């Protein structure tokens, strides 16, 4: 309805009394697509025009602050002129503010050519930059129009038996599709009779703003003109200007609410997916059970038969004294000594017990966390308050976007892993993202990894707390990830360089992805995604 000719018509009638005789003090802009005209009045008045073709409007405010910076004077010759009349074209969305020196300020709604024009005896100027040919056409068209100051109720012929939408709009081009839709919702024998009723409602009834917080829809209409509005909150006003001010404010807040809710939901869904993957992994561990006893038994059997184990053996067959001397075949690591093979199984027994007990403990935490996310999701869908949305985000430890900072905008360029549910690892996808990862994303005290002497991804281990040492086991896992994301992926053992990011430099002339290390250490690891490492989808 905000773009409707008849809305502008009703608004003009209401505002004439407030504007006639008022002196213009200045016209300026400090926001894109908005022009503000300051008027002399006991309490101060400001005419605000918006020429954004999606939400075009003009309204009166009693308060406005002109910024000291980024503010530009427009139509400077308009100063100190008085508004002598306020009229509207009788067949188009063109509102004219006649001034006492015979100049005119026009507000026009014409799709992408929606604009404000200022006509003097010698000039026809536009607020928003307009091509010269378009400017000439607009001026010619406007000057040929007839203007009125009363409500425009067209005379409809009742002799025509049938008429379709296109015929109505051809005969009365200022009757928009929305008005026809409202007319069709009125159960009447004649479309013209329905149109008369709709226009009478617009002329006399109170304006309303309808808001659906679930679908983020907002409408401006009049009491008695409601279509499928079951899920809309309805706010009624006495004056069109008050309804329009509320509409503009709520439109902005609704867009902010949508942006914030979608941001939080996206992160909630991402975290829920991560937790579900983690839960499935933990369930697998629990279902496999605690293999401590099995590995201990093998370790003891190997210890008893230590003299029969020789370096380089892949397996050994021994009598299982725990199972009536049943023959048991045990796999061995040929690279390890007999004693190291025994120790390996005792270590696996210890790890299995810890892993099983920890899985049972962590899965309860994961289930509670998923429940918390579900509750946050439900609260988000029901709240209208931006403050409450921000509180929900804070409870989830999310930083609401104000301006998208560098890390937030580039993090999706990398592969992302999580080690032991705590340590974040980022992997470049190609030469360009390697440079971005190392030179823009990585902090000075982050760890940096790369497989030695072979092409591969840059890998960064984020260090959030420099006072907390990174366990060697974590460094080895990151090195394995770096080896896995290199051309040495199929090798048995890979040498991986690692250092702190501050020792990684890019010298002038180096190709994308190429860097130099001022200092480095190395780790020998298997190229793999180790146990305890989760892949986080961007």
The CATH number of the domain holding residue 91 is: 2.30.310.10
Where among 347, 369, 395 does a domain terminate?
Answer: 395
Band (404; pLDDT cuts 50, 70, 90): very low
Q: Is residue 511 situated within a structural domain?
A: yes
- 447 CB-near residues (< 8 Å, 6+ apart): 460, 461, 463, 470, 475, 478, 498, 499, 500, 501
Q: Which domain holds residue 300?
A: 269-395
Phi (first) and psi of residue 522, to 5 degrees: -130, 155
Is 381 contained in some domain?
A: yes
281 and 317 share a domain?
A: yes
Whether 442 is covered by a domain: the verdict is yes
Judgement on whether residues 144 and 173 belong to the same structural domain of the protein: no
**Pick from 507, 479, 475: which is nearest to 494 by CA?**
479
Shared domain for 91 and 23, answered yes or no, is: yes
Question: Exposed (0-12), middle (13-18) or buried (19+): which is 381, by Cβ within 10 Å?
Answer: exposed
Residue in the structure block whose two tokens are 């004219």: 96
pLDDT of the residue at 188: 64
Beta strands in 376-420 (DSSP E): 415-419
The structure's pTM equals 0.63
- Give the pLDDT confidence of 205-236 residue by residue, as tens digits: 999 999 988 888 999 999 988 666 678 889 99
Asked if the structure places residue 160 within a domain, the reply is no
Q: How far is CA 71 from the centre of its chain?
A: 29
**Are residues 437 and 463 located together in one domain of the fold?**
yes
Asked if residue 317 and residue 210 are part of one domain, the reply reads: no
Q: Give the per-residue pLDDT at 107.
A: 96
pLDDT of residue 159: 54
Inside any domain, residue 261: no
CB atoms within 10 A of CB 177: 11
- Spatial CA neighbour of 337 closest among 312, 358, 356: 312
- Give the DSSP letter string of 450-505: EETTS-B--EEE--S-TTSPPPHHHHHHHHHHHHHTBTTTTSSSEEEEEEEGGGEE
From 221, 255, 289, the end of a domain falls on 255
Do residue 12 and residue 78 come from a single domain? yes
The overall average pLDDT reported for the chain is: 89
CA torsion through residues 510, 512, 514, 516, sign: positive
pLDDT of residue 408: 45
The last residue of a domain, from among 88, 116, 148: 148
8-state DSSP, 101? T
Phi first, then psi, for residue 426 (nearest 5°) are -120, 135
Instruction: Report yes or no on 263 lying in a domain.
Output: no
Specify whether 175 is located in the same domain as 247: yes
10 and 143 share one domain? yes
Separation CA 53–CA 107 (nearest Å): 12
**pLDDT at 538 (0 to 100):** 54
Tell me: do 11 and 99 sit in the same domain: yes
The verdict on 435 and 308 lying in the same domain is no
According to the model, what pLDDT value does residue 536 have?
A: 78
**What are the tens digits of pLDDT across the range 406-444?**
444 456 688 999 998 889 999 999 998 999 899 988 999
Residue pair 119/173 in contact (Cβ under 8 Å)? The answer is no
Residue 160 has pLDDT above 80, yes or no: no
Assigned domain for 13 exists: yes
- Tell me: do 429 and 529 sit in the same domain: yes
Report pLDDT digits (tens) over 114-133.
999 999 999 999 999 988 99
pLDDT band at 382 (very low <50, low <70, confident <90, very high): confident
| 155 in a structural domain | no
Residues 100 and 14 in one domain: yes
d(CA 241, CA 60): 7
Q: Domain tally for the chain?
A: 4
């Amino acid at each position: 309805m905000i773009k409707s000719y008849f809305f502008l018509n009703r608004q003009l009638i209401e505002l004439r009394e407030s504007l006639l005789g008022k002196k213009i003090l200045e016209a300026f802009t400090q926001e894109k697509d908005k022009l503000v005209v300051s008027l002399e009045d006991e309490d101060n008045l400001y005419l605000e025009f918006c020429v954004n073709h999606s939400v075009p409007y003009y309204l009166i405010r009693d308060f406005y602050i002109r910024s000291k910076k980024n503010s530009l004077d427009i139509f400077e010759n308009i100063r100190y002129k008085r508004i002598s009349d306020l009229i509207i074209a009788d067949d188009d969305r063109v509102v004219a503010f006649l001034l006492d020196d015979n100049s005119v300020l026009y507000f026009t709604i014409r799709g992408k050519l929606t604009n404000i024009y200022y006509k003097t005896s010698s000039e026809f100027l536009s607020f928003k930059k307009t091509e010269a040919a378009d400017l000439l056409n607009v001026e010619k068209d406007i000057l040929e129009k007839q203007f009125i100051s009363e409500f425009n109720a067209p005379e409809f012929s009742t002799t025509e038996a049938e008429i379709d939408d296109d015929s109505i709009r051809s005969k009365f081009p200022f009757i928009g599709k929305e008005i026809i839709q409202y007319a069709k919702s009125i159960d009447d024998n004649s479309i013209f009779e329905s149109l008369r009723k709709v226009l009478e409602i617009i002329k006399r009834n109170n304006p309303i703003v309808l808001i659906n917080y679930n679908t983020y829809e907002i409408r401006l209409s009049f009491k008695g003109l409601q279509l499928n509005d079951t899920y809309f909150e309805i706010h009624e006003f006495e004056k069109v200007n008050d309804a329009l001010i509320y509409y503009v404010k709520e439109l902005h807040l609704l867009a902010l609410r949508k942006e914030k809710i979608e941001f939080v939901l996206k992160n909630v869904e991402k975290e829920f997916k991560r937790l579900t993957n983690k839960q499935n992994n933990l369930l697998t561990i629990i279902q496999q059970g605690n293999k401590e006893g099995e590995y201990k038994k093998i370790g003891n059997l190997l210890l008893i038969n230590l003299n029969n184990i020789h370096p380089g053996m892949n397996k050994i067959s021994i009598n299982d004294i725990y199972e009536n001397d049943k023959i048991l075949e045990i796999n061995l690591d040929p690279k390890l000594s007999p004693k190291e093979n025994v120790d390996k199984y005792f270590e696996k027994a210890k790890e299995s017990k810890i892993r099983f007990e920890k899985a049972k403990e962590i899965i309860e935490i994961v289930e509670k966390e998923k429940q918390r996310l579900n509750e946050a999701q439900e609260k988000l869908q029901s709240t209208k308050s931006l403050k409450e949305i921000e509180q929900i985000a804070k409870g989830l430890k999310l930083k609401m976007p104000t301006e998208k900072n560098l890390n937030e905008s580039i993090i999706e360029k990398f592969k992302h892993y999580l080690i032991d549910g705590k340590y974040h690892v980022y992997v470049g996808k190609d030469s360009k993202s390697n440079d971005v990862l190392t030179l823009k994303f990585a902090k000075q005290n982050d760890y940096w990894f790369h497989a030695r002497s072979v092409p591969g991804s840059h890998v960064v281990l984020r260090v959030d707390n420099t006072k907390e040492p990174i366990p060697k086991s974590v460094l080895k896992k990151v090195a394995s990830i770096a080896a896995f994301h290199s051309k040495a992926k199929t090798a048995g053992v890979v040498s991986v360089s690692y250092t702190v990011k501050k020792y990684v430099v890019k010298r002038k002339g180096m190709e994308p992805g190429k860097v130099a290390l001022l200092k480095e250490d190395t780790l020998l690891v298997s190229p793999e995604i180790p146990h305890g490492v989760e892949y986080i989808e961007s």
